[in-house]
Amino acid sequence: MTVPILRQLADLHAKTSEWTRAGEVIGVVPTMGALHQGHLSLVEAAKAECDRVIVTIFVNPKQFNNPEDLAKYPRTEADDAVKLEPYGVDAIYVPEPDQIYPAGFATNVSVAGLTDVMEGEFRPGHFDGVATVVAKLFLQTRANRAYFGEKDYQQLMVVRRMARDLDIPTEVIGCPTVREASGLAMSSRNLRLSPEGLEVAAHLNAAMRSVAEALGRGEAFDEVAKHACAGLLEAGFSEVEYLDLRSAASLKPLGRASEPARLFAAALVEGIRLIDNIEVPAA
Ligand code: PAF
């Protein structure tokens, strides 16, 4: 069945008012489109746990620190709608830009602390853009639950904190990263890589897994990380922005996996910035 595409907040509210009145649980999967299996796994999780599911598609200009990245971000709305058809979602909300940022929009949602490092450090303003748009999408959709991929682990933490701090009654649910057979984390940005670039990209997750194994053997993070970064440059990455071991709960940097930890990386290939993170078992 063709899924209704809603572009105006009033049309979305007409639906959600009806669902809320009927006591139905509303789930939302916020996306920027160019849907892949990772997004679809979030839709599946939402379908399993909610009475109604809304997928939002909005390429949010406020979260792009690099204008070229925004201009080149894939936009594939018609394909996205086809991909969603088999899942029986109840609505696709593709807001017109003025439904999110009406003329005179002057409010910024900013989460301190968690956003100082990694993506926050390398993409100034990015998380303000994410927190602002996600706060709006939670309120506009009146969602009881919202589904995010762990691939953007720092984003997941920021969004969870934002909803808690602002008393937005949307439960934030994290779902496991979906990977290609090569280990490469699925991402809409992978669409911009050549076949050679995709081969190089697969080294990122492989290198991270080797670092996690070395940490498990009790090796010191600094040494192992230096070696892994050199290997990534040799494999064809042009730059490794960070390879960090951090507390899974607070994102504070760790020298070894002395508490539940995650390894985080950002690296560039063919001018495309890829990120990934994996769990590191305590040594
Ligand atoms: O992860 C994304 O695709 C975006 O950051 C999100 C959560 C849809 C907000 O624009």
Q: What is the pLDDT of residues 123-182, one digit of tens each?
A: 999 999 999 999 999 999 999 999 999 999 999 999 999 999 999 999 999 999 999 999
Among residues of the chain, what percentage have pLDDT more than 90?
A: 97
Kindly indicate the confidence band of residue 263, based on its pLDDT and cuts at 50, 70 and 90: very high
Q: What is the pLDDT of residues 209-245, one digit of tens each?
A: 999 999 999 899 999 999 999 999 999 999 999 999 9
Pocket test for ligand 1, best of 58, 60, 159 (most atoms within 8 A of CB): 60
State the Cα–Cα distance between residues 245 and 261, nearest whole angstrom.
7
Q: Would the CA dihedral through 70, 73, 78, 84 be positive or negative? A: negative
Report CA(121)–ligand 1 centroid distance (Å): 18
State the Cα–Cα distance between residues 61 and 160, nearest whole angstrom.
21
Question: At a CB cut-off of 8 Å and minimum separation 6, what does 17 contact?
Answer: none
Within-domain flag for 181: no
- The verdict on 171 and 193 lying in the same domain is no
- The verdict on 132 and 22 lying in the same domain is yes
Kindly indicate the confidence band of residue 281, based on its pLDDT and cuts at 50, 70 and 90: confident
- Ligand 1 atom closest to 137 (CA): 9
- Ligand 1 atom closest to 60 (CA): 10
- The verdict on 117 and 220 lying in the same domain is no
Nearest Cα residue to 142 out of 25, 5, 58? 25
Q: What is the pLDDT of residue 18?
A: 98
Report CA(70)–ligand 1 centroid distance (Å): 13
Report CA(32)–ligand 1 centroid distance (Å): 6
Within-domain flag for 31: yes
Report CA(51)–ligand 1 centroid distance (Å): 23
pTM above 0.95, yes or no: yes
Q: What is the pLDDT of residue 254?
A: 96
Report CA(131)–ligand 1 centroid distance (Å): 9
What is the DSSP pairing of strand 171-175 with strand 145-149? parallel
Residue 1 has pLDDT above 80, yes or no: no
- Ligand 1 atom closest to 188 (CA): 3
Domain of 100? Answer: 5-175
Cβ distance 151 to 276 under 8 Å? Answer: yes
- The verdict on 171 and 202 lying in the same domain is no
Three-point CA angle 6, 77, 126, nearest 5°: 90
Q: What is the pLDDT of residue 11?
A: 98
Residue 282 has pLDDT above 90, yes or no: no
Within-domain flag for 283: no
pLDDT, mean of residues 52-64: 98
pLDDT, mean of residues 260-271: 97
Kindly indicate the confidence band of residue 2, based on its pLDDT and cuts at 50, 70 and 90: confident
- The verdict on 158 and 205 lying in the same domain is no
Pocket test for ligand 1, best of 76, 130, 175, 189 (most atoms within 8 A of CB): 130
- The verdict on 170 and 194 lying in the same domain is no
- The verdict on 125 and 204 lying in the same domain is no
Within-domain flag for 135: yes
Pocket test for ligand 1, best of 59, 65, 134 (most atoms within 8 A of CB): 134
Within-domain flag for 183: no
What CATH code is carried by the domain that includes residue 228? 3.30.1300.10
Residues lining ligand 1, CB < 6 A?
A: 30-32, 60, 63, 130, 133-134, 152, 155
- The verdict on 156 and 192 lying in the same domain is no
Counting the structural domains of the chain, the total is 2
The closest residue, in CA terms, to atom 1 on ligand 1 is 31
In the three-class reduction of DSSP (H, G, I as helix; E, B as strand; rest coil), residue 154 is classed as helix
The closest residue, in CA terms, to atom 5 on ligand 1 is 130
Residue 283 has pLDDT above 80, yes or no: no
Which residue shows structure tokens 């991270």? 208
- The verdict on 107 and 23 lying in the same domain is yes
Residue 78 has pLDDT above 80, yes or no: yes
- The verdict on 164 and 194 lying in the same domain is no
Kindly indicate the confidence band of residue 64, based on its pLDDT and cuts at 50, 70 and 90: very high
Active-site residues, by number, are 39
Q: What is the pLDDT of residue 9?
A: 98
Work out the mean pLDDT of the chain and round it to a whole number: 97
Within-domain flag for 19: yes
